[in-house]
Amino acid sequence: MAVMLDVKNLGISFGGLRAVNGFDLKIEKGELYGLIGPNGAGKTTVFNLLTGVYKPNEGCVMLDGQDITGKSTIEINKAGIARTFQNIRLFKDMSVLDNVKAGLHNHYKYSTLAGIFRTPSFRRTETEMNERAIELLKVFDLDGEVDYLASNLPYGKQRKLEIARALATEPKLLLLDEPAAGMNPNETQELMDTIHFVRDNFHMTILLIEHDMRLVSGICEELTVLNFGEVLAQGKTAEVLNNPQVITAYLGE
């Protein structure tokens, strides 16, 4: 299979602290890949390096054959990476529909004057965006709450809305930072089904950080384990989770 993400020797330091060191990762197109490790291992820092929040001190990041190393967050999003965050980041004073439409603006353009005067082309674009946003919301069973404020959604649905908004940017690679955090077992199972649906129906490549080992073992085909900013283990999920070093450093912490 073709490679979607190829990361080589990625590293960053903050002051005297080496947060990520010599990080390598290769993910094939259409793969569901997990990144796990103890708290403070550097997982979110890796996500921040991949999405342009931080610029690496060394290393290379290739997305679908394109070098995106050190590019801005906007450039990286346009190249095809979207993400969610460990702490949900929604436009909470905007409607559910408008949150998803915010993600669509990379693909729908109109002038300021067209918006002010609500020209026919503006109205056509708005109609298309509304229809596309509602299609995405249906995937997450949120189409009945399009007019709700995002802040008024239950926690689990806010998580889903954040994923829907990320998908609206039409990414090649979706990064999910602890998507099951704060969810009960039923919500976690529903999330697992949704992630599978997104991968299969959107032809999406997915990389997720997660502490819920039931979710990790249930959906991830391969894993990388980080510890103190370095790769501790890498490979097929079952093999990694049975690695004595992983059990000592992470599962048995």
pLDDT tens column, 37-82: 988 899 999 999 999 999 999 999 999 999 999 999 999 999 999 9
Q: Scanning the structure block, which residue is given the tokens 């990388």?
A: 224
- Cα 37 to Cα 202: distance, rounded to the nearest angstrom: 28
**Domain spanning 1-80+171-253 has what CATH number?**
3.40.50.300
Percent of the chain exceeding pLDDT 70 equals 91
Is-contact 216 223, C-beta < 8 A? Answer: yes
Kind of pairing, strands 3-14 and 17-28? antiparallel
Partner residues linked to 67 by β-bridges: 62
pLDDT class for 16, splitting at 50, 70, 90? confident
pLDDT number for residue 208? 97
Residue 206 has pLDDT above 70, yes or no: yes
pLDDT number for residue 117? 47
Helix (H, G, I), strand (E, B) or coil at 26: strand
Is-contact 205 31, C-beta < 8 A? Answer: yes
- Cα 193 to Cα 218: distance, rounded to the nearest angstrom: 10
Helix (H, G, I), strand (E, B) or coil at 74: helix
Average pLDDT in the 12-24 region?
94
Q: Minimal CA–CA distance to 191: which of 221, 164, 171, 168?
A: 164
pLDDT number for residue 104? 87
Domain residue ranges in the chain: 1-80+171-253, 95-170
DSSP 127: H
pLDDT number for residue 105? 77
pLDDT number for residue 183? 87
pLDDT number for residue 233? 93
Q: How far, rounded to the nearest angstrom, does the alpha carbon of residue 9 sit from its chain's CA centroid?
A: 22
Q: Token digits for 164?
A: 């829907």
Average pLDDT in the 164-175 region?
96
pTM: 0.91
Is-contact 39 20, C-beta < 8 A? Answer: no
Is-contact 176 208, C-beta < 8 A? Answer: yes
